[in-house]
Amino acid sequence: MPIILNEHHSSGFSLNWTVDKVLYQQKSDFQQVAIVELQEMGRALVLDNIIQVTVKDEFVYNEMITHVPLFTHPAPEKVLIIGGGDGGAAREAAKHESVKQVDMCEIDEKVIEACREYLPETSVSYDHPKVNVITKDGVQFIKDNPNTYDVIIIDSSDPIGPAVELFGKDFYHNVYNALKEDGIFVCQSESLFLHQNLIKKVYDTISKLYPITKVYTATTPTYPGFLWGYTMGSKKYDPYDRMDAEKQDLQTKYYNHDIFKACFALPNFIKEVLESNK
């Protein structure tokens, strides 16, 4: 009998994945951490029964959460990733010539342990000379480092369990303070189809803090609802002013300059959600 990973969401949406092998399974202080071999999508990091990354499609999410804010900033040097323990976003950030330091602050050392052993595709970044792996609570780390970063990436799991605080107003306020005066923030903000209330709440909160707020999208097959949202707040730089700026050519599988231009185009049903006064 094959093992079935049933990923059930509060929206009532479920995804079933056939698991060929369980490679790692441990209960940490924060969550159930597992690495499994999925029949269709290859190795995957699974937290509390929810897929975080798979080797087959992680590049879409990791490239989009990283390169869009980093190419909106003209010369980012210091980058902070909150969460992102698989290392994929850090791998992408380290590719930028201007970036000198990538701090990756992951709360759960078991995530680091599991990914180091079983997900070399993403955890390769742990040993990159630009990358510092910090195992601390990101909520406190942000408070302790005001006015420090050019770009802050919130690479969180869903807003349940250890990630709940990473979607709160106080946290967003502290992120704003941890950025330099021309800094840029981005967070993953869930499915455009299934989590519209959350997208709206995040957008409204970020718009009150930052003069420039944008939502952008990419399709990620292993995330429920597939069309995934990212919300960016910028103190100074507008991605629309950076569309034709000369940018470093990176080795990527999904991201390119045309994607940068296109990803801010939103379908009407999401524009309506963002513009509504509810």
DSSP letter string over 111-176?
HHHHHHHH-HHHHGGGG-TTEEEE-S-HHHHHHH-TT-EEEEEEE---SSGGGGGGGSHHHHHHHH
Question: 35, 53, 175, 179: which one contacts ligand SPD (CB under 6 A)?
Answer: 53
- What distance in Å separates the CA atoms of residue 218 and residue 63, rounded to the nearest whole number? 10
Mapping DSSP to helix (H, G, I), strand (E, B) and coil, where does residue 45 land?
strand
Q: Which DSSP helix (H) or strand (E) runs through 16?
A: strand 14-27
DSSP calls for 21-39: EEEEEEE-SSSEEEEEEET
Closest distance between ligand SPD and the C-beta of residue 89, in Å?
6
Known binding residues for spermidine: 86, 155-158
6 three-class SS:
strand
- Find the shortest distance in angstroms from Cβ 155 to ligand SPD: 5
* Residue 223 found at the interface with ligand SPD (CB under 6 A): yes
59, 111, 155, 179: which one binds ligand SPD (CB under 6 A): 155
Stretch that binds ligand SPD, among 27-35, 48-56, 194-202, 247-255 (CB under 6 A): 48-56
Does 188 help bind ligand SPD (rule: CB under 6 A)?
yes
Catalytic residues: 155
Q: Does 50 bind ligand SPD (CB under 6 A)?
A: yes
Q: How far is the CB of 84 from ligand SPD (least distance, A)?
A: 5
Which DSSP symbol is given to 180? E
Question: Which residues are at the interface with ligand SPD (CB under 6 A)?
Answer: 50, 52-53, 84, 86, 88, 155, 157-158, 188, 223-224
